[in-house]
Amino acid sequence: MKISLISTLLNEAPHLRASLDSLDKQTRSPDEVVIVDGGSTDGSLEILRAWADGRPEIRIESRPGANISAGRNVAIGLATGDVIAVTDFGCTLDQGWLAALAEGFDRADPDVVMGFYAPDPQTRFERIMACLNLPDASEIDPESFMPSSRSVAFRKQTWEDAGGYPEWLAIGEDMYFNFRVLDTGAKRVFAPDAMVRWRLRPDLRSTLRQYFRYAEGDGKARMHPRRHALRFGTYAAATGIAALAVRRPWLLALPQAGVSARAMPSYKRAFNRLDPQEAVLALVALPVLEFLIDLAKMAGYVSGRVTGPDNPPPASRRSGVADLKP
C-alpha cells in the first residue's frame, strides 16, 4: 500500500521544524510527501525546501493565495499514492501516527481511517480550555465521530467521489468534506492511536475569534443547523426564565441545573487532567468560558449566514442539510 502524506501551510515557521522532526521520526515513513505552501512570508518555504533537499520522495509546491482547501486539493492531485494521509504542519505527530493509520487499512479494509488529536497545552489557560471542548478518546463514538484533517487518511478515490475539499469555504472545510464523504457511503474506522498534537490559542481573545470563525464557516456552508438552532433556543428560553424569575425566583434553578448538567463532562476532564489547584479554578472558569464561546459561536453563525453565498452547495448531497446529534 503506497501512502502519500499531504499537507498545507502558511507562515508556520515558529512551529515548522518541530512538525518536520516528528514526520522524520515516524515508525512507518510515508512513501511520498507533497506539501503546498500558500504564500508564506516568514521563511517557511525556505525551511521546507532545505528539509526536502536531496530527498526525491518529497515535493514542495508554492501556490501563493491558495486557501487550505485549494492547497489540499492541489497536493492530493499531485500525489501518486492510493491512500492519502492528511495533517497540518504546525502540529506534531506521535511516532506511531502513520503506522496506526496504515494498520487501520490493513485491519478493516476501509475507505477512511480516522485518527485522533489532542491538545499540547503549555499554560494554565490552555490546560483549562482543553477540558472544555476536547474529549478523550474514550468519549468518542466512532459511528458519529467527524475527524479533523489534521489526522485522517482516505483512499484517493474517496476524495474524488466526495468532490474534493470545498475551495469556496475558507474555514470548516474539513467538516464539509466529512459530510461529503459520508454521502459516498464510505466505510470508516476509528484509529485512536493515530495521534496528532497541537497548541491551543494562547489567550481568550484569540480563542473567541477562533470559535467565531468556526461558526461563521458553519453559517456559510449551512452546516449543523439543528445544533445552532438549539443554542439560540436555549439562550432565548433562559432569557425568558430569567424575566419570569423576578416574581418566581425558584425558576432560576432551571437554568442553573442546565448549566451544571452541560458542564459535567468538562468538570470530569478537569479533575482527571488538572492538578487540584487548577481543577478548583476550572469549576468557576469553565461555565464562564463556555458562555463566552457560545456568544462567539452565535455571532459567527449569524455572520456566516449573512455574508455567505445565497445558495451554497449542500454539505449533504442526500438531503441538503448537514448535522450531527446536537
Burial of 323 (0-12, 13-18, 19+ CB in 10 A): middle
Amino acid at 292: L
Instruction: Name the residue range of residue 285's domain.
Output: 204-307
Residue among 196, 201, 148 at smallest CA distance from 22: 196
Domain check: are 99 and 57 in the same one? yes
Q: Which CATH number goes with the domain that contains 22? A: 3.90.550.10
Domain check: are 178 and 208 in the same one? no
Domain check: are 131 and 245 in the same one? no
CB 152 within 8 A of CB 310: no
Q: What is the largest CA-CA distance in the chain?
A: 76
In a domain, 162, yes or no: yes
Residue that terminates a domain, selected from 143, 168, 198: 198
Over residues 172-194, the mean pLDDT reads: 95
At residue 317, the pLDDT reads 67
pLDDT digits (tens, 9 = 90+) for 196-225: 999 899 999 999 999 999 999 999 999 999
In a domain, 319, yes or no: no
At residue 318, the pLDDT reads 58
Domain check: are 169 and 193 in the same one? yes
CB 180 within 8 A of CB 321: no
Over residues 264-283, the mean pLDDT reads: 94
pLDDT digits (tens, 9 = 90+) for 126-165: 999 999 989 999 999 999 999 999 999 999 999 999 999 9
Where does the pLDDT of residue 320 fall: very low under 50, low under 70, confident under 90, or very high at 90 and above?
very low
Percent of the residues in the chain that have a pLDDT greater than 70, as a whole number: 97
Domain check: are 106 and 233 in the same one? no
Residue 33 clears pLDDT 70, i.e. is over it:
yes
Domain check: are 221 and 189 in the same one? no
In a domain, 55, yes or no: yes
Percent of the residues in the chain that have a pLDDT greater than 90, as a whole number: 82
Q: Tell me how far apart the alpha carbons of residues 131 and 138 are, in angstroms, rounded to a whole number.
A: 14
Residue 172 clears pLDDT 70, i.e. is over it:
yes
Residue that terminates a domain, selected from 198, 231, 266: 198
Torsion, CA 192, CA 212, CA 286, CA 114, rounded to 10: -10
CB 297 within 8 A of CB 228: yes
Residue 324 clears pLDDT 80, i.e. is over it:
no
92-93 and 112-119 as β-strands: parallel, antiparallel, unpaired? unpaired
Q: Tell me how far apart the alpha carbons of residues 158 and 87 are, in angstroms, rounded to a whole number.
A: 17
The angle at the Cα of 204, spanning 200 to 210, to the nearest 5 degrees, equals 60
pLDDT digits (tens, 9 = 90+) for 71-126: 999 999 999 999 999 999 889 999 999 999 999 999 889 999 999 999 999 999 99
Domain check: are 50 and 166 in the same one? yes
Over residues 281-296, the mean pLDDT reads: 95
Torsion, CA 221, CA 222, CA 225, CA 228, rounded to 10: 60
In a domain, 317, yes or no: no
Domain check: are 155 and 10 in the same one? yes
Over residues 35-46, the mean pLDDT reads: 95
Domain check: are 176 and 217 in the same one? no
Over residues 188-195, the mean pLDDT reads: 97
Residue that terminates a domain, selected from 164, 198, 232: 198
Domain check: are 167 and 32 in the same one? yes
At residue 321, the pLDDT reads 44
- Is residue 35 classed as helix, strand or coil in its secondary structure? strand
Indicate the pTM of the whole model.
0.90
